[in-house]
Amino acid sequence: MLYRENGQFKTSYAADQQIFPIAQDRWAILAIVAFAFVGVPLLVDEYLFRAILIPFLILALAALGVNILVGFCGQITLGAGAFMAVGAYAAYNFHIRIEDLPLLMSLLLGGLTSAVVGIFFGIPSLRVRGLYLAVATLAAQFFTDWVFLRVPWFTDNAASGSVSVSNLRIMGWQIDTPVSKYLFCLAFLTIFALLAKNMTRCAIGRQWMAIRDMDVAAEVIGIRPLFAKLSAFAVSSFFVGTAGALWGFIHLASWEPAAFSVDRSFQLLFMVIIGGLGSIMGSFFGAAFIVILPIALNQFLPALGGLFGVSISTAGVSHAELITFGALIIFFLIKEPHGIARLWSTGKEKLRLWPFPH
Amino acid sequence: MGFFLETLIGGLMAGMLYSLVALGFVLIFKASGVFNFAQGAMVLFAALAMARFSAWIPEWLGIDSRFLANTVAFLVSAALMFVVAWLIERLVLRYLVNQEGATLLMATLGIAYVLEGVGTSIFGSDIYKIDVGMPKDPVMILEGTFEGGLLINKEDLVAALVAAILVGLLALFFQKTTTGRALRAVADDHQAAQSIGIPLNRIWVIVWCVAGVVALVAGVIWGSKLGVQFSLVTVALRGLPVVILGGLTSIPGAIIGGLIIGVGEKLSEVYLGPMIGGGIEIWFAYQLALLFLLFRPQGLFGEKIIDRV
Q: What is the pLDDT of residues A226-237, one digit of tens each?
A: 999 999 999 999
pLDDT surpasses 90 at B173:
no
Of A126, A143, A337, the CB nearest to B309: A126
B293: pLDDT confidence band, cut at 50, 70 and 90? confident
pLDDT surpasses 80 at A87:
yes
Write phi, then psi, for B152 (nearest 5 degrees): -130, 140
pLDDT of amino acid A218: 93
Q: Is A310 on the interface with B (CB under 8 A)?
A: no
Q: What is the pLDDT of residues B91-134, one digit of tens each?
A: 988 888 777 777 788 888 899 999 989 988 888 878 887 777 66
Where is B1: in which H helix or E strand? none
What is the pTM (predicted TM-score) of this model? 0.88
Tell me what percent of the residues of chain A surpass a pLDDT of 70: 99
> Closest chain B residue to A138 measured between Cα atoms?
B286
B75: pLDDT confidence band, cut at 50, 70 and 90? very high
pLDDT of amino acid A240: 96
Nearest to A88 by CA among A145, A32, A40: A145
> Closest chain A residue to B242 measured between Cα atoms?
A135
Of B35, B121, B241, the CB nearest to A319: B121
Going from the C-alpha of A6 to that of each of A1, A23, A28, A31, the distances in angstroms are: 10, 10, 17, 21
Of B107, B277, B286, the CB nearest to A138: B286
Question: How many other C-beta atoms can be found within 10 angstroms of the C-beta atom of residue B90?
Answer: 12
> Do B43 and B218 form a contact (C-beta atoms < 8 A)?
yes
Of A136, A215, A316, the CB nearest to B290: A136
Q: Which of A69, A146, A212 to mutate to test the interface with B (most CBs of B within 10 A)?
A: A146
- The C-alpha angle B301, B306, B307, rounded to 5 degrees, equals 170
Q: Exposed, middle or buried by CB within 10 Å (0-12, 13-18, 19+), for A9?
A: exposed
pLDDT of amino acid B148: 59
pLDDT of amino acid A35: 94
Return the half-sphere exposure (C-beta side, CA atoms, 13 A cut-off) of residue B162.
21
> Closest chain B residue to A316 measured between Cα atoms?
B121
The whole domain housing A252 covers: 49-353
Question: How many other C-beta atoms can be found within 10 angstroms of the C-beta atom of residue A32?
Answer: 11
Across the interface, whether the CB atoms of A315 and B125 are under 8 A apart is answered yes
Decide which of A202 and A162 is more confident.
Answer: A202
CATH number for the domain spanning A157: value is: 1.10.3470
| Amino acid, single-letter form, for residue A66 | V
Using DSSP, state whether B32 is helix, strand or coil: helix
In a domain, A139, yes or no: yes
CA distance B246 to B289: 9
Per DSSP, what are the bridge partners of residue A185?
A: none
CA distance B179 to B171: 12
DSSP A355: T
pLDDT of amino acid B4: 82
Summarize the confidence of residues A79-84 as an average pLDDT: 93
Q: Which of residues 222-261 of B touch A (CB under 8 A)?
A: 237, 240-241, 244
Q: What is the pLDDT of residues A182-221, one digit of tens each?
A: 999 999 999 999 999 999 999 999 999 999 998 889 999 9
Across the interface, whether the CB atoms of B309 and A129 are under 8 A apart is answered yes
B277: pLDDT confidence band, cut at 50, 70 and 90? low
> Do B218 and B235 form a contact (C-beta atoms < 8 A)?
yes
Tell me what percent of the residues of chain A surpass a pLDDT of 90: 41
Q: Is B9 on the interface with A (CB under 8 A)?
A: no
B307: pLDDT confidence band, cut at 50, 70 and 90? low
Q: Which of A47-56, A148-157, B25-34, B162-171 reaches the highest mean pLDDT?
A: A47-56
First to last CA, chain B: 45
ipTM of the assembly?
Answer: 0.82
Q: Exposed, middle or buried by CB within 10 Å (0-12, 13-18, 19+), for A350?
A: exposed
> Closest chain B residue to A123 measured between Cα atoms?
B294
CA distance A102 to A100: 6
* Domain count along chain A: 1
- The C-alpha angle A163, A264, B47, rounded to 5 degrees, equals 115
CA distance B44 to A264: 21
In a domain, A177, yes or no: yes
Across the interface, whether the CB atoms of B286 and A149 are under 8 A apart is answered no
CA distance A324 to A340: 16
Across the interface, whether the CB atoms of B306 and A132 are under 8 A apart is answered yes
Q: What is the pLDDT of residues B209-243, one digit of tens each?
A: 999 999 999 888 888 877 787 777 777 777 888 88
| Amino acid, single-letter form, for residue B196 | I
Of B99, B116, B289, the CB nearest to A322: B116
pLDDT of amino acid A134: 83
Where along chain B do its domains lie?
24-233
